[in-house]
Amino acid sequence: MVHAILALLVCQLLGEIIVRATGIPIPGPVLGMLLMLGALAALREVPDELNAVAGVLLSHLSLLFVPAGVGVMLHAARIKTEWLPLLAGLFVSTALTIAVTGLVFFWMMRKMGLCEAEQKP
Amino acid sequence: MNGPSDPVEGADPLDFDLLWVYLQQEPLLWLTATLAAYAIGHALHRAAGGSPLVNSVAVAIALLVAILVVSGTTYATYFDGAQFVHFLLGPATVLLAVPLYRNFNRVRRLLVPMLAALLAGSVTAVVSAVAVAGVLGGSRETLLSLAPKSATTPIAMGIAEEIGGLASLTATLVIITGIIGAMIVTPLLNALRVTDWAARGFAVGVASHGIGAARAFQVNQLAGTFAGIAMALNALLTALLVPLLLRWV
């Protein structure tokens, strides 16, 4: 477990350092993910420890957004006065984005003949 | 004068004022509360038969806000404790390399549909949010804070700051976007007959970042993987697109 956590933190740290040193417009953790991907490609397998950590953390990914979400309490006044543009904007835009992205992806896949055997969602 | 040194009052083992002062100073209380609220949200989600309409994050946030308001606790005090959970967002992003590596061949094969969908979805996310809120009379500050809402929290906050929005408002809007996407993705894509797991996961990842990815992982590993990739790619593209698109606002 220790090695897996250490590897994660090292990748993130390197990502942050490289982003700050070079000024490339990529978030540090995303670059860290690419570094980790490179390391896994070099290893040619996912170590068991890392698999275990991934299982735990990724299955409860949404927990990690709770602290930022509680920040909604700081904006009670604005939400009271601008609830309609805010909620309508968020709802319409989120639904449209899911629909457009999903349809374009699926349409291109079928057009290029990349569909696999029928899947039932 | 009811500190522990007081010979009469100090004998009372239940000095709630002192206990409260101690708990407010330590991160333990709000860290525990965050996990407990999420556990309750998760239990309700399961009790509802895994329905996406009972969202664990939404339940947890509502519970915590109620507790903080009733107890008169500031968000800053709360965050002192909860920051340990918040911090894990970084390592969790790095961890997305694991499902990405496992599905690398599939990802490479689907690269063209993926990039086309990313571009279409990312532009839709920014333009439609700003347009709808603008038409309904949203203030300029609100519109600027809304623009990067589909990118993941830290990136969206950075973008908002850069273009003159309110970073902390953006953080809130990002989370609400995530919750909305997690709630509506399944019925919406069923209605549109998008039956492929990769396409479904990618769609919710572009629109609703990590919360969408969390929902996708609950349903299907492959969908979760593509949602994770979508989240990372859309974070990059949104950072490039928002300043460009907002020249016309």
Predicted confidence at residue B17, as pLDDT, reads 80
The confidence score (pLDDT) of residue A57 equals 87
Q: Do B118 and A101 touch (CB under 8 A)?
A: yes
Q: How many A-B residue pairs are in contact by the CB < 8 A criterion?
A: 336
Say how far apart CA B91 and CA B88 lie, in whole Å: 5
Angle at B192 between CA B191 and CA B198, to 5 degrees: 115
3-state DSSP call for residue A116?
coil
Distances (CA, A) of A99 to A73, B184, B186, B198: 30, 10, 11, 14
Band (A35; pLDDT cuts 50, 70, 90): very high
Contact predicate B149/B173, CB 8 Å: yes
pLDDT band at B7 (very low <50, low <70, confident <90, very high): very low
pLDDT recorded at residue B246: 82
CB count in 10 Å sphere of residue B202: 36
Residue B209 has pLDDT above 50, yes or no: yes
Least confident residue range of A68-82, B1-15, B226-240: B1-15
B 152-191 near A (Cβ less than 8 A): 152-155, 158, 168-169, 171-182, 184-186, 188-190
- Among A52-61, B1-10, B155-164, B201-210, name the most confident range: B201-210
pLDDT given at position B201: 97
Q: Beta-carbon neighbour count of residue B203 at 10 Å?
A: 34
Share of residues in chain B with pLDDT > 90 (%): 67
**A chain contacts of residue B104, beta-carbon cutoff 8 Å:** 41
- pLDDT digit string (tens) for A78-104? 999 999 999 999 999 999 999 999 999
Tens digit of pLDDT for each residue in B91-127?
A: 998 998 998 898 888 889 999 999 999 999 999 999 9
What is the model's pLDDT at position B248?
Answer: 67
Nearest C-alpha in B relative to A83: B138
What is the per-residue pLDDT for B6? 47
> Does the beta-carbon distance from A105 to B199 stay under 8 Å?
yes
Specify the pLDDT at position B232: 85
Instruction: Compute the distance between CA of residue B117 and CA of residue A112 in angstroms, rounded to an integer.
Output: 14
- Give the nearest partner residue to A98 out of B114, B203, B236, using CB atoms: B203
**ipTM, two decimals:** 0.87
Q: Which of residues 34-93 of A touch B (CB under 8 A)?
A: 34-37, 40-41, 46, 50-51, 53-54, 57-75, 78, 82, 84-86, 88-93
Mean pLDDT value across chain A: 90
In whole numbers, what is the pLDDT of chain B averaged over residues? 89
- Coil, strand, or helix at residue A76? helix
The highest-confidence range among A60-64, B13-17, B128-132, by mean pLDDT, is B128-132
The pLDDT value recorded for residue B8 is 47
**Domain layout of chain A by residue ranges:** 1-59, 66-121
